[in-house]
Amino acid sequence: MSNQPTDIEKLVFAVEIFANAGSKNPGASDESLYHTISNSLKEIPFIDVDIVWGPHAQMMPNGEAFNTMYVARVSGTDQYIVAIAGTNGKSLFDWIFQDFNVAITTPWIFAPNVKGAEISAATALGLAMLNVMIPQGNVPGSGIPLMHFLRDTAKSPCGITVAGHSKGGALAPTVALMLRDLQGKALLWDPACNATVKTMGTAGPTAGNDVFAAHSNQQLPNGSLSDDKAVSVRFANSLDIVSHAWAESSLEEIKTIYGSEISSRIVDGLIDFAKELANRTNYTQLAPSDPPFAGQLNSSIISSENSDFVNFLQQAAYQHVNSYLEYFQIPIPAQQAGLQHLLSEPAIGEQLKQTIESMGERVHGKLEVEAASSTLPLLGDVSTAEGQQKAIKTLIAEMDKLQQPME
């Protein structure tokens, strides 16, 4: 990548990163999140945007946000940014190693002529949720589904950039590809092809297999966000473990990603388990605009008082969040004021520490997983072949709703 991000790339990153507000504010109303995000955006000097839809946070029964999304318009322009959050996890450990959705896949139904394209159930679940995300309360776009908002926006020429960080970095280009595949179809969101669809993903894992990646690269080729055509831009830190998931070869690289300074037999066991989950699908990362930017090991957060695994997690958290804030030149005062409550490094809670310590050497080799961990939101138990097939049918049905004529 270039030595410095462009102004538009910095703007899009700043907008996308605040979609994580839902994860950091459990139980918050859409109206509360609107004020949180709006006030935080004001802390970034190069940001001049207006929130025009949302935000909306999809909540689990315990108040934790399952996903958060909002749309901002660059002030005085016809350019819109759809910002998608990553899955809410208490730590990178929970997210990267115990997201069972990658063990099953579903067909990419938005391009029937592309045979063999598949996406993970995690990605399909994110897409399906678009159909039920409706902002509530005194916020822009209240009561209007995202696709209806985009339909009204695309009644005249406009630019729509779908962006996200972490798991949002996988969902964003997938959502953009869906929009591209559905353009030009009567009664859908953009029958006249008025919108120029772009995407920018940062720190994202893979979304689907090699056929899916090839189709995405064709429909959304590498380019610049300044181009007046459909393009895709992808950013990754070379030391970010999340962007190494879920292709088997890049997963293996995680074992030695921080060299001999931080190594852990627990990490080795978790990686072997992750590879076991994903080995049925030829997961392939989308083509990057350029090679990943070179991450720098943060030796200051390595402590001899911590276990190797805790040091690994803390380094992974830094590389997954802080390194991107630095790369995109988010000012330190803005980080401290507007970002601290949203993007602090994932804390290693006492319960997680106890869980890790209880694993001990048992994780080196085969990881034992509790049956309860195989129960996924909206999909049920996927620990059996019958459950997996049922989950696939459910996801296909939910995605198919996005292809139905809009009222």
Q: DSSP secondary structure string, 337-397?
A: IIIHHHHPPPP--HHHHHHHHHHGGGGSS-----GGGGEETTTEE-SSHHHHHHHHHHHHH
Q: What is the pTM of this model?
A: 0.89
Q: Would you say residue 404 has pLDDT above 70?
A: yes
What is the predicted pLDDT for the residue at 372?
Answer: 40
State residue 377's pLDDT score: 56
147-189, pLDDT tens digit by residue? 999 999 999 999 999 999 988 999 999 999 999 999 999 999 9
Domain spanning 7-403: CATH 3.40.50.1820: yes
Q: Which of 269, 318, 279, 273 is nearest to 296 (CA)?
A: 318
Tell me the mean pLDDT in the region 11-22.
90
Q: How many residues does the chain have?
A: 407
Measure the CA–CA gap between 26 and 65, rounded to whole angstroms: 6
Question: Letter for the amino acid at 387?
Answer: G
Transcribe 103-135 into DSSP letters. Answer: GSEEE-TT-TTSTT-EEEHHHHHHHHHGGG---
By three-state DSSP, how is residue 155 classified? Answer: coil
pLDDT tier at 294, thresholds 50, 70, 90: very high
Check pLDDT > 70 for residue 3. no
Tokens of 212: 């899916």
For residue 375, the model assigns a pLDDT of 55
**Mean pLDDT lowest among 139-148, 225-234, 239-248, 354-363:** 354-363
pLDDT at position 63 is: 66
Alpha-carbon distance of 150 to 180, in angstroms, equals 13
CA distance 90 to 114: 37
Per-residue model confidence (pLDDT) at position 96:
39
Mean pLDDT of the chain: 83
Instruction: Over range 94-118, report the average pLDDT.
Output: 77
Query: What is the C-alpha separation between 300 and 277, in angstroms, rounded?
Result: 34
- How many CA atoms lie less than 13 Å away from 16 in the CB half-sphere? 34
Q: Is the pLDDT of residue 93 over 90?
A: no
Record the tokens describing residue 130, joined without a space. Answer: 């678009």
Picking from 37-41, 119-123, 288-292, 381-385, which range would have the lowest pLDDT averaged per residue? 381-385
CB atoms closer than 10 angstroms to residue 322: 18
Mean pLDDT score, 103-131:
88
The secondary structure element, H or E, covering residue 24 is: helix 21-24
Rounded-to-integer distance, Cα 172 and Cα 69, Å: 11
Beta bridge partners of 56: 69
Q: What is the SS3 assignment for 199?
A: strand
Query: In this predicted structure, what is the pLDDT of residue 114?
Result: 97
Rounded to whole angstroms, how far apart are CA atoms 357 and 380? 29
* pLDDT for residue 346 is more than 70: no
Question: What is the C-alpha to C-alpha distance for residues 383 and 226, in angstroms, rounded to an integer?
Answer: 45
User: Mean pLDDT over residues 51-77, rounded?
Assistant: 86
CA-to-CA distance for 323 and 306, rounded, in angstroms? Answer: 22
